[in-house]
Amino acid sequence: MIKQAAYAVEPWCVREQRLNLDTLAQSESVFALSNGHVGLRGNLDEGEPHGLPGTYLNSVYELRALPYAEAGYGYPESGQTIINVTNGKLIRLLVNDEPFDVRYGELRWHERLLDLRAGTLTRTAEWTSPAGDTVRVRSVRLVSLVQRSVAAIRYEVEAVDEKVRVVLQSELVANESLPGGDNDPRASAAVHNPLVVEESVARDRGVVMVHCTRESGLRVGAAMSHEIDSPDGHIDTDASEDVGRVTVATSLEPGQKLRVVKYLAYGWSSQRSRPALHDQVIAAMAAARLSGWDGLLREQRDYLDDFWDGADVEVDGDPEVQQAVRFGLFHVLQAGARGERRPISAKGLTGPGYDGHTFWDTESFVLPVLTYTQPRTVADALRWRHSTLDHAKARAEQLGLAGAAFPWRTIEGDECSGYWPAGTAAFHIGADIAQAVTRYLAATGDEDFAREVGLELLVETARLWRSLGHHDAQGRFRIDGVTGPDEYSAIADDNVFTNLMAQENLQSAADLAERYPVQAEKLGVTDEETASWRDAATDMYIPWDERLKVHPQSEGFTDHAPWDFENTDASQYPLLLHFPYFDIYRKQVVKQADLVLAMHLRGDAFTDEQKARNFAYYEALTVRDSSLSACTQAVIAAETGHLDLAHDYLGEAALMDLGDLEHNTRDGLHIASLAGAWTALVAGFGGMRVQDDRLSFTPRLPGGITRLIFRMRFRGRRLKIHVTAHEATYELLGGEPLEIGHNGDTLALNGGAVSRPVTAPPVRPEPTQPHGRRPRRRAE
């Protein structure tokens, strides 16, 4: 587990001041670089030692069998697992025949720095070999946010005390050996030697390699090229099936340096030929060399300057959270910046956890952040969902349903979950996608997207709900046998979250079909069908426990026996690894925010008093065995007046990976939890909501935060919101005038700053958590 002290607390970077081999895999995830298309884990340049080698291309996967003890109708037959593609990060160094290996000799100095404004990973080291020869090594690595296929490394070695002979080997390596897996279901299935070589060509100071996956039939191209600044020496280039290498040998006097700039280009396709893919990576390499190293750095900084201008968050009073929220925003951006109609997975491209699958996390946690900071990436992610509609419609038909049944976990569009109670039955993902569409449209007004993509997504998901639910004898529309966000309560009737999200989905589909009648007619939508959607939405059954005056998470949930929290040891969390599901499913215990998440995403469906009572009730049951929970609990804690508790949950969400709180950061970052830090601050303490396409705020700060400033984008405007304990100031930084809400009042922003007082929340009794599961106090 990474202790927070492993990284210096700084506002704009993450700095590791010494190398800790025990937490190497976790740091590789923290220092990963990506652009949504190419992902490089933060492995050491020389490749060894490593925790998990990792070079990923978005949606490049291999098929694997899903074994079942007892097969059943509709079970997915095969799974998809992200693979480690050709590794271009490798730069090996020999000093007077001794390999530079941090495990040998003396590592006098070692520092790595992730610069959140420059978008680079810098490594500096001073090392004395077992033979007593000392060198300084400095490398800077980037994955371009501007040139989608390109990564680059600048590597420099300097002789310190005496003349040394150095040999640098820059490599492309396919089918690297991977460490064995473990029994944690959150980890990935290891796929060994997935790539079959089709081409491996060496040319002057460069190599091009093309491979094809054995089962999924995807073609992967990788290329490297070098600029070498060296005293006189020898340069050689060679390539075999799975290894391409450029070797530089020279002698360095004290103070002399060998400098190498390594350009990398990646591409893949399920359809293009080997020559076409070869040419694609060669062209990307040419563009990278046209920019040059300095040009790539400038492009990266300009891109990030523009991003931070409309996304930055400033937090006074909690420097750890200040660092963490920017770290989270940076990785959320990296996960989707150049995905371009590909999915954003639960781990982004930082590691192989969850087999590289995308879940509902993307639409419900990641896309809300990008909607208000980098909206173009949201359109791309939803266009990917739209591109998989045929898969979703085929799955619905297989299940005897109409419309589209989107997969619980997938890479390419087919369901990859072998456990149907938590997978197939979690139909809420369709409504999560629909809400992401309506949120994007409200925030951008993108009419082309609405006509081309949004309407069909809403229509097909609405059709699913109309066929999945039914009207009972009392005229109530009910949805039975589903799994909500809380995976500790599977196959439940009338899950409140699911029903409320489906209700909004049905209503939004009817509204959008009415708005675009020509396009709706092409999709076969009739007036009778939209009327049936509106009827189902109006009649949607929302369970209520009159005795407790709370909403049961699902029908009958509050009648279940409570979990024995007092006799559950801290070592037995997460419960799913220590108790049988049949026992968990029949008790009142909540893995993650479910009813509480409904109060955030469908806050209009609850009164203030209901929110307060519901929150208090479910606080005592929620164990947060999911990284998705803390940010939502922070939002509703803030809304119901528990500001210090909200601050505690904010810290948990923000530090999920910098502190390795779930003990699995080694497999990749928790992108949704990192996004949740922004949500906890902006939607929690900023009180930001969008209702009827109008942006509104109800700001309030905990005692541990003295000032909160955040920037965001909305309908072509850039806004800056400045909150202190007593006052909120709203400023329009760019775009046309805009009306917003503050504590229910309307404010007109015409270019100047407008300030209003902050009102204190009502005082309520502090809720309790399950024994041993209270979040760590931020004030301590």
Annotated catalytic sites, by residue?
487
Q: How far is CA 368 from CA 127, 329, 354, 677, in A?
A: 45, 12, 22, 12
Return the structure tokens found at 119: 């978008």
Residue with tokens 């639409």: 363
Contact at 8 Å (CB) between 541 and 604? no
Biggest CA-to-CA distance, the chain = 90
SS3 of 152, please? strand
Say how far residue 17 (Cα) sits from the centre of its chain. Answer: 26
Q: How far is CA 249 from CA 163, 169, 263, in A?
A: 14, 9, 19
Backbone dihedral angles phi then psi of residue 541, each to the nearest 5 degrees: -85, 125
User: What is d(CA 623, CA 579) in angstroms, rounded to the nearest whole number?
Assistant: 14
Bridge partners of residue 724, in order along the sequence:
707
Name residue 331's amino acid: H
Name residue 314's amino acid: E
Q: Please name the residues in contact with 48: beta carbons below 8 A apart, sequence gap of 6 or more.
A: 101
Return the structure tokens found at 472: 């009972």
Which DSSP category does 681 fall into?
I
* Residue 98, H or E segment: strand 98-99
User: What is d(CA 472, CA 493) in angstroms, rounded to the nearest whole number?
Assistant: 13
Q: Please name the residues in contact with 642: beta carbons below 8 A apart, sequence gap of 6 or more.
A: 615, 764, 766, 767
CA proximity to 463, closest of 412, 413, 506: 506
Q: 83-118 b/e with 16+ CB inside 10 Å = b? A: bbbbbbbbbbbbbbebebbbeebebeebbbbbbbbb
User: What is d(CA 625, CA 637) in angstroms, rounded to the nearest whole number?
Assistant: 18
User: What is d(CA 367, CA 458) in angstroms, rounded to the nearest whole number?
Assistant: 17
Cα torsion 328, 329, 332, 334: sign: negative
Contact at 8 Å (CB) between 482 and 491? yes
Question: What is the arrangement of strands in the sheet containing 106-115, beginning at the earlier edge strand?
Answer: 8-9, 13-16, 106-115, 120-128, 134-143, 150-159, 257-269, 219-229, 206-213, 195-203
Q: How far is CA 752 from CA 314, 345, 719, in A?
A: 20, 40, 11
Please classify residue 609 by burial: count the beta carbons closer than 10 Å to its beta carbon, then call 0-12 exposed, 13-18 middle and 19+ buried: exposed
SS3 of 581, please? helix
Residue with tokens 């804690």: 637
According to DSSP, the β-strands at 738-742 and 694-697 are parallel
Return the structure tokens found at 38: 């190419």
Q: Whats the size of the chain, residue-wise?
A: 780
Name residue 419's amino acid: Y
SS3 of 482, please? strand
